[in-house]
Amino acid sequence: MLAPLEERLNLMRSLMWDYDIPPEHCLEVLEGKREKAGHYTEATLFRKLLESYSWFTILSIISTERIFQLLTDKTIKSLRFKSLTTRYEFIRSRLQKSLSTAGSSA
């Protein structure tokens, strides 16, 4: 379940504390409504999110469906830490099962 907008914006502010990029722009990029926030694309911003926040925090920022779209093999392989690579490979496989099950029962 997504957190209230102000909470999500605060998380974006914390994530981008060292850049002068509006948190609204970051959230719009992650939601697929904007191409870039500063020099960040959706792929690079999502990778920063994965490397900075816990899984449950990420779930409060963007929808599960959007996470699945962004959680590509390329993104997973670009993570700096092997432990995160392993974790997100597992999460991607679970999301794929969960979303395909949800789609078939709709």
pLDDT digits (tens, 9 = 90+) for 5-20: 999 999 999 999 999 9
Q: Which structural domain range is residue 84 located in?
A: 5-105
Tokens of 89: 């490979």
Residue 1's H or E segment, with its range, is none
Tokens at 38, concatenated: 């500063």
As a whole number of angstroms, the distance between CA 28 and CA 37 comes to 8
Average pLDDT of the segment spanning 91-99: 90
83 vs 100 pLDDT, higher one? 83
In whole numbers, what is the pLDDT of the chain averaged over residues? 93
Per the structure, how many domains does the chain have? 1
Distance CA 58, CA 53 (A): 6
The model carries a pTM of: 0.89
pLDDT at 100: 78
Q: What is the pLDDT of residue 88?
A: 96
Confidence of residue 81 (pLDDT cuts 50, 70, 90): very high
Confidence at residue 105, expressed as pLDDT on a 0 to 100 scale? 54
